Chains A and B, each alone.
Chain A
Amino acid sequence: MDTLIIGFLIGCAFGAILYLGGATSYRRILGTLLLKDMWIIKLMATAIGVGSLGIYLLDLGNLAHMSIKPAYVWGVAAGGAIFGIGWAISGYCPGTCVVGASEGKRDAMFTLLGALCGAFVFSLVFPTLEAVLMQNANFGAITLESMLGVSGIYLAIPFSAALLFLAFFVLKDQYE
């Protein structure tokens, strides 16, 4: 099947899961960030737990089309900090603002517009930031597998088990 159609269908399912799972809900996002309502972190830990095991099982048969992002420590950390602040202020992330906008939430539409502007502003300062934050301390596209020299599946099994255990048995909502 055509890659574009596959992308579209996977996107449809992704959007549906985020909507049905409450990932576009401000009270769920902020609840998680205030460490009161663990819904979103449990959802994410479950997804990563299932995903990590599945991807490294696929990898055993050389069937995984992995995409590892380079670890340029300063840029990733600075970007993560800015992203986190934007996440708490808007209550959305780039994916959920798209889905929130699709269900007609006006604040999500404003986040979507702001996101398009933020990407544009980044393009203006990219040459400077690249030289300072993205080329220094760049360890390349490395994973725990390549760092530890252990086959990924031996890491993914305990990692997945730990995340699923965390989501199902450890993390509890904290209401006062």
Chain B
Amino acid sequence: MSNDYIISWKVAGIALGLLLILATALVKPLGVSTQFVVTDAIVTHQVAPGFAESNEYLAKYGEKTDWSVGYGWMLVFGMLVGGGITAMLFRQKQPEQDKGSMPKMWRDQFGNSTFKRNSAAFFGGMLLLFGARLAGGCTSGHMISGISQLALSSFIFGVVTFGAAIMMAKFLYRDRAL
């Protein structure tokens, strides 16, 4: 199992915990999902400014002249840059089964269709952000940052999210022993 990972969950987990402490000391904890709305607001204000103004939710996250690109948006932009650079540097160390756009597990269960995989990825993405905005956060903001701060809402989110995700995963792979 020597090339089953690049860094172990222990190293990644400790590093992520330390990064969360640093972020909380300097500015505020980690969070991602709000920035999808900020991005939507930026685009909508360009394409259909009248609609953006009349949409109560989008209007909260940016104006035509002020895009509200702040700490949070730069953080997500940084993930894109940092993730991309790291991926380039460590590509040859990445486990074979984690490379590419068609996971082996998915292919074994649902077949070779790229259209099917990408449709599921798109639809899943819609549910992710709809749910995250309703709940007020996602894996980073609610689970990692929120539970670390012992927030009641984040404990509720964590329990319900894992419960629903485990049931859905068991349903998708119901006829398969891993």
Which residues of A does B touch, CB under 8 Å? 3-28, 30-31, 33-37, 39-40, 42-52, 54-56, 58, 63-73, 75-108, 110-124, 126-127, 129, 133-134, 139, 141-145, 147, 152, 155-156, 159, 167-168, 175-176
Contacts and interface: CB of A to CB of B under 8 A. Distances in A.
A144 B178 contact: no
Q: Which of A56, A91, A122 has the most CB of B within 10 A?
A: A122
- The main secondary structure of chain B at its interface with chain A is helix
Contacts of B84: 15, 102-103
Interface of B: 5-33, 36-37, 39-40, 44, 55-58, 69-87, 90, 95, 97-98, 100-106, 114, 117-170, 172-173, 177-178
- The main secondary structure of chain A at its interface with chain B is helix
B78 to A, nearest CB: 2
Nearest to A39: B9
A8 B91 CA distance: 23
Contacts of A8: 74-75, 77-78, 81
Contact of A14 (B69, B79, B128): B79
B20 A16 contact: no
A54 to B, nearest CB: 3
Nearest to B154: A69
A69 B146 contact: yes
